[in-house]
Structures are given as C-alpha cells and as structure tokens.
Amino acid sequence: MHPIMSAFPAVNNTAAPNPAPFFAQNLLNPPLPTNAAWQNFALNKGNQSEYVHPYLIQSNHGTLTVSYAARVVNASLIFQVFLANIIISCASSGSHKITHYDDLSVTLKLPGPLMVPLVRGSPYITCIVKGGHLKFSTIHSVLNVYSFNGYTKHKIQFDNGQTWLLYSSVPLQLNSDLSVSGGFLGVLRLALLSDKFNQVADEKERVLDRFSSCYPISAHVDLTAPFRISYKWKTRGWGDLLMLSHSVHRRIMTAPGHDKVISEFGYRSMDGDLVGIVGDSWVLEETPIPITWYSIKGFQSHKEMQRVVSALEQDVADLNPINTTATYFYGKQIARVARLALIAEETHSHSLIPRVREFLEQSITPWLDGTFKGNGFVYDNKWGGLISRNGANDSTADFGFGVYNDHHYHFGYFCYAIAVLAKLDQNWAWRFKPQVYSIVKDFMTVNPAEELLYPRLRSFDLWKLHSWASGLTEFPNGRNQESTSEALNAYYSAALLGLVYGDTDLIGIGSTLAALEMRSAKAWWHVPLNTTVYESEFVQENRVIGILWANRRVSELWFAPAEWRECRMGIQVLPILPITELLFSDVGYVKELVEWTVPALNRKAVGDGWKGFLYALESLYDKDSALQKVKTLKGYDDGNSLANLLWWIYTRGGSDRF
C-alpha cells in the first residue's frame, strides 16, 4: 500500500493485466507507466515490436530484433513493415525484464548477459554484453562482412540493399555468416548505414564512426519553467553524443545551436525526416499561449451578443438530468453545460448562472463524494491510477477506462466542468479539492516520487511531444491517438483548474502541454496540401489523419470508415473552446479541410452534430455562410449546443447576420 491514501476508495482492478512478468522486482511498486511509447514490452508476451525512432525493435524469446522497416504507402494508410534485419542474442531463451525507464528511454535486460538501453532518437542500437557467447542472424542473405580497426568495426551488407555498421568496444571476431568466434565482453553499437532508398553513405559513415564511442543509457526531461523543455541524457564512453531530432523538436529548439545540427545526416521515419544533433542536452522553447476562460477576440457588436443570449436562454431552460453512467459521455455533457456558464458570464447574462451552477453541482458532486449510482471513480493499486468502478471489472467498459485507455479524454471533460463550477463556487472548490486533484493528477503528475499515487504525465510523450490515448492493450503498431482536440482540452482544462486554485505549477505544465499538443497536431494529424511529412499519394486523399499510431497512419476512425470525412474532421475539432482558435490558426489549411469534408455531407444520415463542427471551421473564413448553415441544424453534438456554436461564430469577427 502507498504511504498516502487516494481521495477515492481502492479497488481490485481485474480488468488490467499483471505487471509482474516484465518489470524488475525493484520497479514493481506502483505507480507504473500505462501509456508509454514502449508499453508493448510490458504486455501479454512482451514480444510485439515498438518503434524506437528510427528502428522497430522486438524482444522475443531472448532475442533482440532490429528492423529499419520498409515503408508502405497508399491513399488510405502509411505503415512500416517489420522485417528481422538483424537478430542479436546471447544463447539464452526466456522473457526480458524492464530494469529502467524514464522520459526518453527504456532498458531491457534480456536472458543471459545482455542489457539493452533503448533510447529514443539514437541512430545506434546499443547492447551492453557482460560476457558470454553472442549470436547474430538475419532473414536476408549476407553478401559481405568487412572488418576494420582491429575488428572493432564491421560493415555488413545484405541482399535487400541494406548496409549496417557494427561497432564494438573490444575486438569482435564476426565471420561472413554472422557467427562469432569466441566470447564477448563489452559494448556493441549497431546502426544502419544505407538501404536501397539511400545509397549515399560515405559522409554518413564518417559521422557514425566519429560518434560511435559515446552512448546514452538514460535521460531526463526538465519541465520546471513554463514553455521550456530541457532534455539531458546520461552517457557512457567518450566523445560527444549524437542523437536524432524530429521536425517538432527542430522548430522550437534553442540549444544546441545550429552549428551542432548535422543536416546532411539523418534517417527517414514515420514522422518525417530525423536529423542529427550533437550534444547531450537540448533546450526546446515553446511559444507561450493564453489560457483564457472567454473568447480571445470577443463580440463585435451588442446585436450579435444578444443573438447568443437568446440561444443561451433556451439551452439553459432545456437542461435535463444526464441519463448516462459512462464516464466519457457523462464528461462531455457536464462540460457542455459548463460552457453555458462561461458564455453567460461573457454575455453578462448573470441571471442564468445560478441554474447552471446548480445543475453542475448536482451532476458533479456525486462522482466526487461516492454517491453516484451506476459507476464512480476508484483507485487502482495494481498500476497506480484512478479508474471507473465499471472499468475495474470489464476491460471494455467506459472505452477501456480500467485499462487506462483515453484517461486524458474522459478526465479532461470532467476537469473542464469542475474548473467552471469551482470558479463559480469557491466553497465547493475547496471542499472537494482532494478529489479534484486526484482526478487531474491522474494524468498531470510531474513528480511521482513526491506525489506517489500516479505515474509521470500518464498520457503525454515527452519525445514525440503529444499524447497517446491507448493504455494497457497490446497493438502491433504501438500506441495510438485519435482526437488531438480532446487531448488539448485535457491540458487546457488542467490549466484552468490551476487558475481556480492559484496553482502556478499546474497552470504552467497545463499550458505547456497544451501548446505542445497543438504543435504536434498541426505537424502530424493535420495534412495540408503542401505538407512534406507524408507522401503525395496519401496527401491527395487526406486532409486529416484518422488514427495516428506509432508505426502507422490510417484514414479510418475507431467508430467510422474513412469515407465519413465529417467524423474525421469533427473528432479533431471537438470540443469547441476558446483555445480551438489557436489549434486552427492556419486559415488556409482550415479552408482546405472544409472543402475536403463538404462532399461527405451528400451521404445519407450525416449527423447534424458533425455538421456543426464543419460550420464552426467554415466561420473562420466565411462567417456569413456558416451562420446560414447553422440555422438549418436540428441537433448538436452531445458536447455542443446552439449557444456554443453561435458564441464561436460571433466571436470570429466580421458579419452581423443570422
């Protein structure tokens, strides 16, 4: 048991797997990571591959398999095919153990004397061999093996067009069939030199030679200052450290300087080109963003405001008890009502606020005091986290909430509604602060060594700089995330809670993660016509990703086929908030997205809820047209309302029509 208790009752989480098979004994005490980029290594048999940029890595029956994957592209998907390019073992079988993990790495201890620190963004795979007989193999035919530098460097050529470099800290007798003569005690570093798509290798080889002797074994990310992210790698060996950066890194990197960027050295990846950076510490400076309760631009006229007030009065009058016990849909609906309170404040409709406040208090309090009928929040001592009572016994309940799927989505909606109610009622806010902080800390904990109950930033990936929604479910393509806008809502809402409670740390980390999530959404989920991240065949047919996997990009959604473009667009917009304006700041892209989506509306039975999000985007460049189309809607998404749609459109500036 933990030395401090959760604000919610403990539960035996039978839906989640047992972490014991794959974590070293000293790591078994919760909280444990549930949404890490390497989570497959801790699930089921632990033998599904993970994408450790730029390589796919598999640990299976005592072997480590390294793949620089072939890329497959068509109009609806992009993925990398895992092939066993090089297989390494130490003549022992069995499962690996995770002996260390941190913000940017995980270390696997394979059976026998083989330790593998997998550090994301390293152009080399490093193996620390503490004696024993090494084995190398491949699915390819070996064309040539060349030895250099007293058998401490080997060049291996395969019949698939790949050439690999293998460095060793002491001489290694590698034969032409990849067998090894004698034992080995030392460090190995393996790197792809070239493949059939990139045969210009001389300069790349010189770079790999130069930096082969310094290897990272772990890393830490400092988040102390708002909008500033500092990477620091712990290294061994000698010389400077060479790492790879993706495009989001490079856009906000302030250190090392440009003289440490090796622009001619790089690898392709699922996330665009990876480029070499020299140095064992980086500093990333994100552009600060405003965290506001209300619209950024405000209303342009009193007449427009009154039109919103008319819709608002009707929406408040129509409030009815919420008739679902599902955490996701319940959260959406209380967040929808919370929007009404803030719109009432912004439009000076103060007489409407007491009814909304009462509704929120009656709807939220039972979840916090344990009196909610049909579900509730409970604490999982197995992995360390807040889950739903229904999810604790059923891995499919609440969209897999008991196995840590979508935590930032569900709790993001709850946090938004709680933040608004806490703003309206300070007595309520302080009465339920322990429960409120249990909810937000489930996905926003920065220092688990002090806070003890929850892992560090459960959903947020500090290397990719966005969130992963999938939790303790094994997938062949790694973690995934569908809705970036709901992820943004989670961090924005956490920052709002920080405003309510005067918590500058929570404001800082919430706003920082919100800014990074937005930047990554624009880089990888949004697909403008001029993007160079994805191939033209895919770009021509897609303006937005359906589901982004670590090793796959697809057009379909969990709940809809690729042809339902209105759903693909809408899931990247909802919920409509003040911060949505920053997410869709590129109006040129917005117009492309709207025009790409519109033909899908010709399909029968397209829901008005999805149309509402499309018209909200259209208002960014054609307010008059959007207003006329909103008039035709007969319904709205369960997290949206007419008042919220009109609030959004009328705070875009421009026309005075409706």
pLDDT in tens, 293-310: 999 999 999 999 999 999
Q: Report pLDDT for 201.
A: 74
In the set 50, 486, 517, 637, the catalytic residue is: 486
Q: Please report the pLDDT score of residue 3 as a whole number.
A: 47
- Supply the pTM of this predicted model: 0.97
CB 492 within 8 A of CB 555: no
Q: Has residue 654 got a pLDDT over 70?
A: no
Q: What whole-number distance in Å separates Cα of residue 418 and Cα of residue 567?
A: 27
**Are the C-beta atoms of residues 517 and 487 closer than 8 Å to each other?**
yes
Task: Please give the structure tokens belonging to residue 303.
Answer: 């007449």
Q: What local confidence, expressed as pLDDT, does residue 78 receive?
A: 98
Burial label, 173 (beta-carbon count in 10 A; 0-12, 13-18, 19+): middle
| Tens-digit pLDDT profile for residues 499-529 | 999 999 999 999 999 999 999 999 999 999 9
* pLDDT interval class at 365 (50, 70, 90): very high
102 annotated active-site: no
Helix (H, G, I), strand (E, B) or coil at 454: coil
Q: What is the pLDDT of residues 527-576, one digit of tens each?
A: 999 999 999 999 999 999 999 999 999 999 999 999 999 999 999 999 99
Residue 14 pLDDT exceeds 70: yes
Q: Do residues 286 and 72 lie in contact, with contact meaning Cβ atoms separated by under 8 Å?
A: no
Inter-residue contact 18 to 46 (CB < 8 Å): no
> Is 482 an active-site residue?
yes
Q: Roughly what angle, to the nearest 10 degrees, separates helices 608-618 and 623-630?
A: 160
In the set 304, 346, 406, 622, the catalytic residue is 406
Helices then strands (H, E): number in the chain? 18, 30
Give residue 394's region: left, alpha or beta (phi > 0; psi -120 to 50): beta
What DSSP letter does each residue of 419-483 carry, written as one string? Answer: HHHHHH-HHHHHHTHHHHHHHHHHHH-S-HHHH-SS-TTSSEETTTTEE----S---TT--EES-
User: With DSSP H G I counted as helix, E B as strand and the rest as coil, what are the percentages for the chain, rounded to 5?
Assistant: 35, 25, 40
Catalytic residue among 482, 592, 618, 622: 482
Q: Residue 399 is encoded by which pair of tokens?
A: 């969209």
* pLDDT number for residue 657: 43
Neighbour-count burial for 20-45, b at 16+ CB within 10 Å, e otherwise: eebbeeebeebbbbbbbbbbbbbbee
- On the 0-12 / 13-18 / 19+ scale of CB atoms within 10 A, 654 is middle
Would you list the DSSP string of 591-617? HHHHHHHGGGGGSTT--HHHHHHHHHH
Q: Which pLDDT score is estimated for 93?
A: 82
Amino acid in position 563: E
Contact at 8 Å (CB) between 452 and 2? yes
Residue of 149, 156, 195, 140 whose CA lies nearest to 170: 149
Q: Taking residues 379-387, report their average pLDDT.
A: 97
Q: Is the pLDDT of residue 656 over 60?
A: no
407 CB neighbour count, 10 Å cutoff: 26
| Residue 95 C-alpha from the chain's centroid | 28
Residue 311 CB contacts under 8 Å (≥ 6 apart), including other chains = 641, 642, 643, 646
**Token couple for 628:** 């006329």
| CA atoms of 615 and 598, how far apart (whole Å) | 10
Q: What's the rounded mean pLDDT across residues 632-657?
A: 89
End-to-end CA distance of the chain: 59
User: Across residues 471-477, what is the average pLDDT?
Assistant: 97
Query: Can 451 be counted among the known catalytic residues?
Result: no
